Amino acid sequence: MRKLIAGNWKMNGLVSSQAEIEALKGLTGSATCDIVVCPPFTLLDRAVERVKGSSLTIGAQDCHAQQSGAHTGDISAEMLADIGAHYVILGHSERRVAHGEDDAMVLEKAVAAHQAGLISIVCVGETRHERDEGRAIKVVDKQLRASVPEGATGQTLVIAYEPVWAIGTGLVPTNEQIEEMHAAIRQVLQERLGSDGHSVRILYGGSVKASNAEALFRLRNVDGALVGGASLKASEFAAVTLAAQTS
Ligand code: PGA
pLDDT tens-place string over residues 151-201:
999 999 999 999 999 999 999 999 999 999 999 999 999 999 999 999 999
Domain count, the chain: 1
Q: Whose CA is nearest to atom 2 of ligand 1?
A: 228
Whether residue 162 contacts residue 123, with contact meaning beta carbons closer than 8 Å, is answered with: yes
Distance, in Å, from the CA atom of 247 to the CA atom of 214, rounded to the nearest integer, reads 6
Ligand 1 site, residue 227, Cβ cutoff 6 A: yes
Ligand 1 site, residue 8, Cβ cutoff 6 A: yes
Q: Residue 127 falls within a domain, yes or no?
A: yes
Whether residue 220 contacts residue 178, with contact meaning beta carbons closer than 8 Å, is answered with: no
CA quadruple 39, 45, 47, 48: dihedral sign: positive
- Check whether 212 is labelled as a binding-site residue: no
Q: Residue 89 falls within a domain, yes or no?
A: no
Distance, in Å, from the CA atom of 39 to the CA atom of 21, rounded to the nearest integer, reads 10
pLDDT digits (tens, 9 = 90+) for 56-99: 999 999 999 999 999 999 999 999 999 999 999 999 999 999 99
Domain harbouring 109, CATH code: 3.20.20.70
Domain interval for residue 113:
3-15+33-82+101-246
Distance set, CA 117 to CA 59, 81, 112, 152 (Å):
12, 7, 9, 12
- Check whether 10 is labelled as a binding-site residue: yes
* Neighbour-count burial for 124-163, b at 16+ CB within 10 Å, e otherwise: bbbbeebbeeeebbebbbebbeebbbeebebebbbbbbbb
- Check whether 228 is labelled as a binding-site residue: yes
Cα of 164 from ligand 1 centre, angstroms = 9
Q: Residue 88 falls within a domain, yes or no?
A: no
What atom in ligand 1 is closest to the CA of residue 123?
Answer: 9
Ligand 1 site, residue 163, Cβ cutoff 6 A: no
pLDDT at 51 over 90: yes
pLDDT at 120: 98
